[in-house]
Amino acid sequence: MNFDIKTAEEKRLIQLSDLDEIRLEAYESSKIYKERTKLFHDKKIITKDFQVGDQVLLFNSRLKLLPRKLKSRWSGPFCITEVRPYGAVTLTGKSRDFTVNGQRLKKYLADQILPEVTSVHLQELLHD
């Protein structure tokens, strides 16, 4: 077996440089993928601005474990007494105050007045 050490060494260096290029391309493509995924995710995030005095509903995540179809996972309404930094919100309940994560809340809209809606029937449009 006659092996030329010089050509084998050059071939091995070329293979190593090719491998290095492939690794760098994979790193760049994964970086691009992460950036795009983050942009897509950030577009879907809806900011929740709560003010003191707002009425909110609280999501109870523990009810997911119980198979009750008619049991609502939202409890409340509660009144906001304090909005803390980083999304923490202090609520006033029936008997006590407690602090929860703002992501578990949604505004209670039952007391708000809906604007007057006008309707046009299709029969009126067809006869005109």
How large is the greatest C-alpha to C-alpha distance in the chain, in angstroms?
Answer: 98
- Range of the structural domain that residue 92 is part of: 55-107
Strand-pairing partners, residue 79, are: 55, 92
| Residue 120: φ, ψ to 5° | -120, 125
Tell me how far apart the alpha carbons of residues 110 and 7 are, in angstroms, rounded to a whole number.
81
**Would you say residue 34 lies in a domain?**
yes
Residue 46 token pair: 């809806």
**Would you say residue 99 lies in a domain?**
yes
Residue 109's nearest CA partner among 45, 53, 57 is 57
Q: How many domains does the chain have?
A: 2
Q: State whether 59 and 101 are in the same domain.
A: yes
pLDDT of residue 50: 87
For the chain, list residues with pLDDT below 70.
1-3, 63-70, 111-112, 114, 124-128
pLDDT of residue 110: 75
